[in-house]
Structure 1
């Protein structure tokens, strides 16, 4: 039974709005109704208009818009965000008002949302200003992330009854594509295998051709448009550009559209800019359902939304659920480190006729890859022989290759059978991963070999290798079309080894997929930084196993520069020229209990010879003894706390500097520039942060420095008061601030950034590696960051291994940060240890690394260990922040001796 609530808004923002809330099921009359009023609020639409103007002129929107810009000027994300904050405050103050009994509507709405998880929310109004408002900013929706809004008109007439079809007929109009890419839209539609063969793609049609197709008697299920469009007449209608010369108002197609609806048209999708007027005009024609983009839409947003929507909708999900999933999947475009596309999730809008039955794709045929059929049906005796042989093969293969049972789906551990980075899951990647998952199924159930389905999977995975080869093609397609995703590259490497039947050794890496405050999305920035390092080392190592003319490595990421040729760089030909490197990824969610759980599972997989992780000192401390007790080497490229030394752990090695190394450099810098007093801010409950504070205090005072006591020094406090803290410090003049935030366990990083902003470059600020973060650069105002100096273990401009820096620029389309470099170092360390062992074992790896003669080369130079597993001569330097117009934030971290981002040194 489908539940629905309808919020009817009749009136306008200047004179006030009559509000009616009804609730019930879609197939019955309303169960209840409440009426109230909203006060006039013309200010809110002015705020929206101001935001709209800023949004439409965003610098990166104009890189590839679907709307020809009129009067371009550059506005920053920051100004947009300020207006969004004002909008959010205004809309909540307005809608949370208790006047005229509106709180009764709010309370009933909250009750319905709490009782029914998948309830539909309809906003009924004909007022374009109300239609454009960002209703999702109302805090009543908090904790109800399953809600998806639809707009419905106040006035309507019945929709015609039509007979359902078994297959979907699509009429796709690919209009004027000047300056944009709409061929990608076409490709996504053509991947939908359940489209009727009579579906039609009209490329830049004439007015007559379009009109003729709309009148076609057989009718269409979906009308799709991609190209340029915009709203006109105060959002009452819209214009589409059907070819390079002609544009038409949607009104001009009214007779043809009416007939198309009568003939069965159920859904219109306008994957183009500023579609509100188009939708309003379609609503007057009684169009059952429509999807439009409310504002100008960048190419990548339009294409990404369409891809995700089709993946869901073509498999039978309701329109609302498909749009909801596609909208959520746009979050990563808003939050990625580079080339952000802000407000992508604001753009898609559903229009729904109040009396139209929700329409879903009529067939359940999916786009999933299917195994090729068996060419002939073998005799019973042949099946028995094949089955027995396969059982034997699986037994031998399972013991040799897996050693333990394969990873269970959902255990947050994967070598390719599931996607852990859910922020980067394009459909081609999903299809490739599904094939890899199928190749693990026979190991989970040997007796299943008696089933034909399992026998076919065995054949496709272990005899013909069809599944692995097809997975490689799909993962390469994902890399080429959707960007340099490190998880994809790791799975590509693993699949390549399987497809070619290469022997390999296995190591694991832990990543932190962090929950965001609303729990609906993950923060994958740290995870991706880690995976870039191990993926690059794995790729340059494995590519050396294959001849250049091998078909499977054609178009393989990095093939043209990571696969070293003789004389260019040290040759990498696998271990003993025949053994590759397989990588298992484990997600610890950046939680201590999860880190321990992942460590326990990794220890049990005897094929894993070593682990790289965990991301912070806190999670490393939680898991380290599990590895020690399991006699599995853990190389830590990130955990700097000296607390890891408190007891002997001979299976722990660190390629990263320690907290003592960091504080030594910071103390020496302050004393060198004549600063002999400092105020320290840290997280008391964090081992890493508190130890940094203790060591800094100890070393600074030992060299004649003085620590200023500040009461407001706990960076983890939810109500940290930066102004109060600075008032205390400034009683002692312009005393430097020393910041030791924890590893993103609390609000310490956020509060540190607030302290930097509030300081306004009055006091010098020095801090640790944690602050080397996009969040710091997102302050955007270089004047606020002029006196910030940070410790880092590595920087690309001063890297001792410039070949690594050049390779990262090519592979990842830009420079990487210290986390990637330190992970690369840890991977190269394991590779060197494996190369030095004839028959590597866990204990053998430990002995090799502990040998005084051990040495490896990485991004940060030579890697050697002391007797207690810490790095000899650890890397480390200071950086500051300078303006850099070519970078995303307009700012960049550079070594302290450089005055600009173009490698100019200070005088």
Structure 2
């Protein structure tokens, strides 16, 4: 996961200084409070940059210098004096500017900004830096020279931005690229085309060579493009607010001349504009207004060899999986190899991007993934001789047949069962095993008998009850699926399955849904994003599946949601709280409350009831729901007068030491400790509680509302306050009924899974098609009674409701989750 560091520089000038504000975001949300500073007045900066620019232009006019990609005269404000030592003059001017630039930053009031950065962002993690400003003089500066940051952070790269706009979709195969080769007077741009052709796998390239204006506009607006690439002559106007490109030797145009065509291209999915041409800041300013998410230009005039080397290294890195910003960073480093003959070549590339956009990566070809798997299989085989001609045939089949064969692959991954496969192996008795065997053979009468016998022996086994109902509904049924992490978190899986099984058993005992019994297919996704995507694809292809309850962890739900949305299959997660699941599409819902609602309630409790105002946040930065909760809690906590103590406490860090983290929190004056971890890695959070030894007040969210927390934490988690969507005392009648059914207390996951299944049942009672179910759930009047209250969804698919505060209390030697009453 990439952190994004944004420096917002407001109105000002070099004679008075600039106010500057630091934002640090992770997964789109603040992960530290904003802090401010001041860039002091330093009038020499624009003057020294202009002196370097004059020297650079003079070197460019030297008769020994190769042509650069520029078609207009040197601006009158640039005084050039070509001479034998023109390269030395550029280097001397560059050294003076770089020293002054870093002196300016060092003199500025940036202590709070740099301290917050050092406490929140590790030096070894890739960081996406953005300078957000509409000040043209600041946009000219090569911010990559910021020495204190470039020395601390590996792969330091800075993008520019002016405004924030909604996020666009990611790139997908095939990547559609419109390539424009413009005027080539005295320059070599054919090489750019050759680099593009050989470098980008899975790309669909369309070439326009010196097109006329009509041809260019027609192609731009009437076909969807992911990337537009231009090579040729260009230049920024002297007033710096516009620029021109030369389509051919007679025709030039400004982005303003094709504004409507570019707007249509953006609407059709344009994500990247690359201008491998001269002096492109004016181009970037115009294109940025049109909300193109990613723009790459050259800051000043650029020579052929520099432009081509940049393009080659950028595309190579981008195609190999590096993000766009990382790829530019690596290409910039390679340009340093040319600086003996092309001074300051590494200063030239500039990125403009929307700060809201996640890192942009080049998509991997499904075919290449298959080929990789085949290679791995071959390499692992000890009988290499056997592969001989057989392996060649296999590769031939993959190359020729795979595109047609992909849609015909067998849909069952072995992770799904309606009763024909045993998914939960733990404590499986003989009757359960025989029931599964009979079900697989189609002997449903014997399966029913064995499942009933198994439930007498193990009445708290939800898998068996679901299979029993499925066997009884084999002739006339409606089918849904539930996806749970059996392989990685059995306790949580069984909690969810108990809620689903209860709802299924209730409706089938009443005769089913309009006379048809409900069948539930259980899926094991292990809370793994790749597996979640695979089973989601299978479920979408299985037209009998009308809806899905799941997934559990937010990372799994976020990975699967786009597949369900594209396939038109309703997904209702009972447990995924990450904010960015909201708005994933109109087929995506959840019955758990979202992070913002629960964070607001917990922050209010921490400040106004627990009276804790200085909190350290320990969390797993690799878990999306952790990141969402951290952002929302800190924002709400600070707004209520609380203070975030910026101690780095990331449970996902290799060799994480909970004792060091707790000691740092105490020494920093904290009075509270927020502990949070991925649902499959609760022991990390419990280890922090144990290191705390009840010294600081503990807070968490519903992830820790599980029996494992009580069993492993015991005295260490006593007093832990957490927020959850439900507690048995919220609905005593339901809690008592379900406790009797399962011979023990159940948690909130059973309640929200019951509500998710109940919502699908209520929707199917209005109509049994996938689209009809989605329309019913989204209808303004839809509501159904549930364990956690009335189930109603917002337009974004979120659940409407109120959370509760729960605290770990002791009852003798036992520990329990008790409801904190108002």
TM-score (norm 1): 0.44
TM-score, L = length of structure 2 = 0.49
